[in-house]
Amino acid sequence: MELAVAHETIARWQFGVTTVYHFLFVPLTISLAAMVAGLETAWVRTGKEKYFHATKFWGKLFLINIAMGVVTGIVQEFQFGMNWSDYSRFVGDVFGAPLAMEALIAFFFESTFIGLWIFGWDKLPKKIHCACIWMVALGTVLSAYFILAANSWMQHPSGYTVDPVTKKAQLTDIMRVLFQDTTVVVVFHTLTAAFLTGAAFMVGIASYHLWKAKRRPETADGRKVAAMRTSLRFGLVLAVVAGLGTAISGDTLAKVMFEQQPMKMASAEALWETQAPAPFSIFAVGNVNQGHNSVELEIPGILSFLAKSNFSSSVPGINDTAAAEAAKYGGRPADYIPNIFVTYWGFRLMIGFGMTSFVAALIGLWTTRKKRFLAPEFRTAEDEVPRLMLTPSREMGPFLTRWSWRIGILTMGFPLIANSFGWIFTEMGRQPWAVFGLMKTADAVSPNVSVTTQVIAFSTFTALYAILAVIEVKLLAKYAKAGVDLTDRPPAKDPTLRGPSSDEDADKPLAFAY
Amino acid sequence: MQLHDVWFVLIAVLWIGYFFLEGFDFGIGVLTKLLARDRAERRVLINTIGPVWDGNEVWLLTAGGATFAAFPDWYATLFSGFYLPLLMILVCLIVRGVAFEYRHKRTEERWQRGWEHAIFWTSLIPAFLWGVAFANIVHGVDIDRQKNYVGSFWDLLNPYALLGGLVTLTLFTFHGAVFAALKTVGDIRTRARAAARLLGLLTAVLALVFLGWTQAHSGTGWSLAALVIAVLALVAALAANQLAREGWAFVFSGLTIVAAVAMLFLALFPDVMPSTLDPAYSLTVTNASSSPYTLKLMTIVAAVFTPLVLLYQGWTYWVFRKRIGVQHIPSADHVAPAPEV
């Protein structure tokens, strides 16, 4: 491999591995923070034990997850400078601003209030304690907003000018960076997908416990079942709402992309030639060198609808778009074609995995519906495992019941896969550009970092992340399987901010300690 | 004072805040092996920083992000140039964060011991490497016309820089011991004071040589003033520690860090990364900075949010103001109950 190519390739692999890995934890953190906050609010307002148990249980899983999200995020703050110094010099004036705002506004929020929430159970009045987790949730959402604004600027630069002397991008309008259509739609799409992720996670683990309680009623504890049943319903409702939101925002985002990055959408569809009306591809095997697909299966007209909301519009193909870009920016058309295999399949896997979870939740929501929709003899109490009902008086048979619970468990990680492919698609689909139309990825790498250094860094991160993944998953599985800990109790009396009043209290062990 | 000068000061403030706060976090991490006699004592130490270490670390992320926004060339040159030391720091910070959060999640001896080793090493190594990095920044490194560092990894490990590393390591450990004395009760509190005395004397010797060297090499009148304050503060911290005035000792060990880091930045100004190849290649507050628009915008953001951060972080310290001792450590770990069979 030529040195320059190796240079760019390793830097891209490192960014891809560290970022996709980081983003396994991010959506769960965003959604679980808000979901735990919702459960704690329900406890504070109703005083019902099941909400307290659910808060504690999901809170533990949330903390195991956010620890990884936080530490893998540290790398993100610095690796632009490490591997992409020419990029950093070129975009810093624009791109640095949302990053700095993210740290100053969002990270401080998250990290400070998470400490208060973890250690504050016996130190803070419960309303304030609950407010702390809401602050964490707000921090995660703000963080997502700022970083997506930065990414959207790479997808569709706006609110900037290129300085004629220094040849660097300069910010002229921060409002355009923060509120351009790309940013707003991407934020909506990412957040809804994040909530679908957390909801599917909750549904999966709750299904595991409920299905176990159903099979072994003699070992089941009603209090645990109640907490899981509430969690299941909460997760299902959220998954349906978030899934719908993901689909709608995804459709809007696709329309924005057809406008702003036609190559990305053409490559998502492996649409080589401009067509009117354009079909939606179900399956295709393409040949990049020959510029067409050798096998394909498609539905006529649908792509035109996705792009322009009617069934007959023309959608520009890869070859025409590449020729246009080559004419505009120089070079050969082939230089402007991203990796079609990755974009085409990434796009399909994103939709496929994400929507499977949505459909599963929709079915789950129907079969576990409230008792007023059921015949009296099929109604179950709050601390019983719900029966899976097809009609008001018809329960699923044993086979369907078994598989319904299993599907609930198995689809738990599907949105995580969808998220990863979504990012791989959107970043690979922008290639060869780092900043669309302004800077190519090949020109963005650090010129002074040797390939040896890169190899050391890339292998270190990959090995470290692999080890941590094993540790994290095992720990998560252990706590998820253990279920609700009934020995967890809220403080006997609501703490006051002034601290313990008597000396006797002063030597009491901490409610939580590392 | 122009905007890029304001931002030089703000970046300095962020690093000072980071070293002040994570300084004692690193120190506590190192002391888990030097000071604690058993697991209960180690847990006492770890829990003195338990609720706050994560928020303290964000000062670093903010310093990084703010440098990116206000001085993109400084950000690019520094982190691409000091690549491998930074990689080591990042690896340590990753493992360290996980170690704090996961250590108590299982009861197995091997698991807990492993994470405790990790806490020690991942506190010690960054505490040393930050000193190495800052010494190199102040002294200057081989930066070429394109603002790229062209020296090697080994060039960064010169005697002056290694001395800088020892100074931050001892200073942070001293600061951590003073913090431990302030936040604990019982036997460990007394031992923390004794450890602080030794560490403080060691720091004084090393810091005097290092800061004197810095002053001789790149000092100004202002940096000399900061040096004097740093030395006086260190003496005052030692005296307060001797008199068992732990609050004052902490104020002065903190002031030592503030003044020492301020001195480095004063010696640096108006450069941000001097070049040893040709002074004309040096990165300065003017040639490395962002446009006036970005600087103005970020000034407004910083003016609004920095006081807010100080306010709620300060409140956190107030909530967890109580000293802790071995009697406060819950006997049963917070681990998952065994799954029912």
The pLDDT of residue A276: 82
Asked if A159 and A176 touch (Cβ cutoff 8 Å), the reply is yes
Burial call B155-187: b when 16+ CB within 10 Å, e when fewer: ebebebbebbbbbbbbbbbbbbbbbbbbbbbee
- In a mutational test of the B interface, the residue from A7, A14, A448, A514 whose CB has the highest number of chain B CBs within 10 Å is A514
The pLDDT of residue B145: 93
Strand bridging mode A433-435 / A394-395: unpaired
CB nearest to B47's CB, from A74, A478, A514: A514
Q: Which of residues 165-204 of A touch B (CB under 8 A)?
A: 168, 170-172, 174
Q: Do B65 and A96 touch (CB under 8 A)?
A: yes
Nearest CA among A345, A360, A447 for reference residue A412: A360
Which amino acid type is present at position A147? Answer: I
Neighbours of A370 (CB within 10 A): 9
Percentage of residues in chain B having pLDDT higher than 90: 94
The phi, psi pair for A79, rounded to 5°, reads -75, -15
Average pLDDT, integer, range B97-109: 94
Strand bridging mode A439-440 / B271-273: unpaired
Q: Looking at CA atoms only, how far is residue A47 from chain B in angstroms?
A: 23
Q: Which residue reads 């100074």 in tokens?
A: B167
pLDDT digit string (tens) for A261-301?
999 999 998 888 888 888 888 877 766 666 677 777 888 88
The pLDDT of residue B135: 97
The pLDDT of residue A493: 82
In whole angstroms, give the CA distance from residue B191 to residue B186: 9
A77–chain B Cβ distance below 8 A for any pair: yes
Q: Going residue by residue through chain A, which has 514 residues, state the pLDDT in tens, using 9 for 90 and above.
A: 567 778 899 999 999 999 999 999 999 999 999 999 999 999 999 999 999 999 999 999 999 999 999 999 999 999 999 999 999 999 999 999 999 999 999 999 999 999 999 999 989 999 999 999 999 999 999 999 999 999 999 999 999 999 998 899 999 999 999 999 999 999 999 999 999 999 999 999 999 999 999 999 888 899 999 999 999 999 999 999 999 999 999 999 999 999 999 999 999 988 888 888 888 888 777 666 666 777 778 888 888 888 888 888 888 899 999 999 999 999 999 999 999 999 999 999 999 999 999 999 999 999 998 878 888 888 888 888 998 888 888 888 899 999 999 999 999 999 999 999 999 999 999 999 999 999 999 999 999 999 999 999 999 999 999 999 999 999 999 999 999 999 888 888 888 887 665 555 677 888 888 8
The pLDDT of residue B341: 40
Nearest CA among A237, A195, A215, A201 for reference residue A480: A201
Q: Do B91 and A77 touch (CB under 8 A)?
A: no
| Closest-CA residue of chain B to A495 | B319
Burial call B12-40: b when 16+ CB within 10 Å, e when fewer: bbbbbbbbbbbbbbbbbbbbbbebbeeee
- A448 neighbourhood in chain B, CB within 8 Å: 80-81, 148-150
Q: Do A510 and B104 touch (CB under 8 A)?
A: no
Average pLDDT, integer, range B227-244: 96
Neighbours of A477 (CB within 10 A): 11
Asked if A243 and A196 touch (Cβ cutoff 8 Å), the reply is yes
Q: Looking at CA atoms only, how far is residue A429 from chain B in angstroms?
A: 26
Task: Give yes or no for residue B124 having a pLDDT over 80.
Answer: yes
The enclosing H or E element of A392 equals none
Which amino acid type is present at position B332? Answer: A
A290–chain B Cβ distance below 8 A for any pair: no
| Closest-CA residue of chain A to B72 | A92
- B313 neighbourhood in chain A, CB within 8 Å: 108, 112
Q: Which of residues 487-506 of A touch B (CB under 8 A)?
A: 487, 497, 499, 506
The pLDDT of residue A489: 86
The pLDDT of residue A102: 95
In whole angstroms, give the CA distance from residue A405 to residue A211: 6
Burial category of A216 from C-beta neighbours within 10 Å (exposed 0-12, middle 13-18, buried 19 and up): exposed
Partners of A94 in beta bridges: none
The pLDDT of residue A279: 85
In whole angstroms, give the CA distance from residue A191 to residue A197: 10
Asked if A246 and A358 touch (Cβ cutoff 8 Å), the reply is yes
Q: Do A99 and B69 touch (CB under 8 A)?
A: yes
Asked if A92 and A483 touch (Cβ cutoff 8 Å), the reply is no
Q: Looking at CA atoms only, how far is residue B111 from chain A in angstroms?
A: 11
Q: Do A448 and B94 touch (CB under 8 A)?
A: no
What's the token pair of residue A401? 């019941």
Partners of A284 in beta bridges: A296
- B106 neighbourhood in chain A, CB within 8 Å: 475, 478
What's the token pair of residue A210? 């409920």
- A71 neighbourhood in chain B, CB within 8 Å: 93-95, 97-98
Q: Looking at CA atoms only, how far is residue A365 from chain B in angstroms?
A: 28
The pLDDT of residue B193: 96
Which amino acid type is present at position A439? Answer: M
Q: Looking at CA atoms only, how far is residue A241 from chain B in angstroms?
A: 32
Asked if A514 and B103 touch (Cβ cutoff 8 Å), the reply is yes
The phi, psi pair for B54, rounded to 5°, reads -65, -45
- Does the predicted TM-score (pTM) go above 0.90? yes
Q: Looking at CA atoms only, how far is residue A212 from chain B in angstroms?
A: 10
Q: Do A123 and B320 touch (CB under 8 A)?
A: yes
Q: Which of residues 86-115 of A touch B (CB under 8 A)?
A: 86, 88-89, 91-97, 99-105, 107-108, 111-115
In whole angstroms, give the CA distance from residue B132 to residue A314: 60
CB nearest to A468's CB, from B98, B147, B305: B98
The pLDDT of residue B340: 45
Q: How far apart are the first and last CA of chain B?
A: 70
DSSP A396: P
Q: Do A102 and B65 touch (CB under 8 A)?
A: yes
> How many residues are listed for chain B in this entry?
341
